Amino acid sequence: MKHPFMAAVAEELAALGIATLRYQFPFAERHSKRPDPPQLAQATVRAAVSVAREIVPSLPLIAGGKSFGGRMTSQAQAAAALPDVRALAFLGFPLHPPGEPSVARAEHLAEVDIPMLFLQGTRDALAEPALIQPLVARLGSRATLRLLEDADHSFHVPARTGRSDAHVRTTMLTDLSAWAESVIQTV
User: What CATH number should be reported for the domain holding residue 155?
Assistant: 3.40.50.1820
Contact 95, 105 (CB under 8 A): yes
Cα-to-chain-centroid distance, residue 63: 8
Cα separation of 101 and 20, whole Å?
Answer: 32
Beta-strand runs (E) in 18-172: 61-66, 85-91, 116-121, 143-148
b/e per residue, 143-179, with b = 16+ CB within 10 A?
Answer: bbbebbebbbbebebeeeeebeeeebbebbbebbbeb
Mean pLDDT of 115-144: 97
Q: Quickly state the pLDDT bin for 186 (edges 50, 70, 90).
A: confident
Q: Quickly state the pLDDT bin for 187 (edges 50, 70, 90).
A: low
Is pTM beyond 0.85 here? yes
**Domain region containing 159:** 4-186
pLDDT at 74 over 90: yes
Rounded to the nearest integer, the mean pLDDT of the chain is: 95
Bridge partners of residue 78, in order along the sequence: none
Half-sphere exposure of 90 (CA within 13 A, CB side): 31
pLDDT at 133 over 70: yes
What's the structural domain count of the chain?
1
